[in-house]
Amino acid sequence: MQKRKLGNKLEVSAIGLGCMGMSFSYGPPKDKQEMIALLRAAVERGVTFFDTAEVYGPYINEELVGEALSPLREQVVIATKFGFDLSPDRDPRGMTGAPALNSRPERIRQVAEASLKRLKIDVIDLFYQHRVDLDVPIEDVAGTVKDLIREGKVKHFGLSEASAKTIRRAHAVQPVTALQSEYSLWWRKPEEEILPTLEELGIGLVPYSPLGKGFLTGKIDQTTSFDKTDFRNTLPRFTPEAMKANMAFVDLLATLAKQKNATTAQIALAWLLAQKPWIVPIPGTTKLSRVEENIGAAAIELSAEDLREIRSAAEKIDVLGTRYPEQLEKLTGR
């Protein structure tokens, strides 16, 4: 597979793999041995970039990734995250209120040590702050990760869903290699301030939910029902009314997919890849056929005219529904 560089220094496959859904948020955890096989098969097919976090489970997703990929350590780049308070009385997903954050320096160090053990590695390739904690100056966060890098426990520093101002402040203390934020054809807000800031500073972008949490694949519509533990049940964009209205995005992708002999998901990913050479999406899946489909997006070339047509059509579509409930949305762009 083609390779790309995040922050001009961290080389990864052009398409990564988000591992969260194997253990968390999209229904019950999947069979561990099946997921281990899936992760190893992804490496065989050229995927080198894998994304996890301590909060996914919590903990069990890192354990899964560690067991699957530690034998292939020299071939992979593993990203994980800190920043949530996982005390027993807290609800890190925010299902019952605002999630509890904790990015105090001592907590960051605790997470780093625990993640290293769960992942069965001796250095974290990319360590993101999962959400910006307003109770801890970002300079203190960046400084703590800088120390961890100096100590050889972390290689690269990342942020997630941070504002342009916060990115600049952090970058001044410890260069930020990558920003992880939602970005897709139906969530283009990062284009306003985030992308220009990243380009100026030489920071890569890792879009999560590049397929709109599955919606842009065309496999979901207003008749779809999710497992009671599926996170999408709480999202305004996934009400039947919103999904019916937002099918216009899927129809737009499907039209071009027919022309290119591709799938709607592949066109959605190819569109992202075409935006900037330093963008590396991390679609998540629990099926090998989908891994292979997503990888295929890297070989699809969209012309300048294709991109103009997509953007022009997309700008005429009004998205129905916010992407998160209020308590989660307020944790972004800080």
What are the tokens at 123?
């250095």
Domain extent at residue 97: 3-213+276-300
User: Has residue 244 been placed in a domain?
Assistant: no
User: Has residue 247 been placed in a domain?
Assistant: no
DSSP 331: T
- Return the pLDDT at 288: 98
Active site residue 56: yes
User: Has residue 82 been placed in a domain?
Assistant: yes
User: Has residue 190 been placed in a domain?
Assistant: yes
Residue whose token pair is 């997921």: 35
User: What Å distances lie between residue 243 and 25, 35, 247, 284, CA to CA?
Assistant: 19, 29, 6, 20
What span, in angstroms and rounded, lies between the C-alpha atoms of 214 and 203? 27
Asked if residue 105 has a cis previous peptide bond (ω within 30° of 0), the answer is no
User: Has residue 309 been placed in a domain?
Assistant: no
Residue 242: closest CA among 323, 304, 171: 323
**Bridge partner list, 119:** none
Task: Kindly report which listed range (94-103, 110-119, 230-239) carries the lowest average pLDDT score.
Answer: 94-103
333 confidence band (pLDDT: 50, 70, 90): very high
* 49: phi then psi, degrees, rounded to nearest 5: -120, 120
User: Has residue 226 been placed in a domain?
Assistant: no
User: Has residue 54 been placed in a domain?
Assistant: yes
Overall number of domains in the chain: 1
What span, in angstroms and rounded, lies between the C-alpha atoms of 267 and 306? 10
Residue 199's CATH number: 3.20.20.100
User: Has residue 330 been placed in a domain?
Assistant: no
What span, in angstroms and rounded, lies between the C-alpha atoms of 209 and 310? 19
Question: Which of the residues 56, 128, 183, 324 is marked catalytic?
Answer: 56
87 confidence band (pLDDT: 50, 70, 90): confident
97 confidence band (pLDDT: 50, 70, 90): low
pLDDT digits (tens, 9 = 90+) for 2-35: 999 999 999 999 999 999 999 999 999 999 999 9
Whether pLDDT at 194 is above 90: yes
Whether pLDDT at 204 is above 50: yes
What span, in angstroms and rounded, lies between the C-alpha atoms of 131 and 279? 20
88 confidence band (pLDDT: 50, 70, 90): confident
- In what helix (H) or strand (E) does residue 111 lie, and over which residues does it extend? helix 105-119
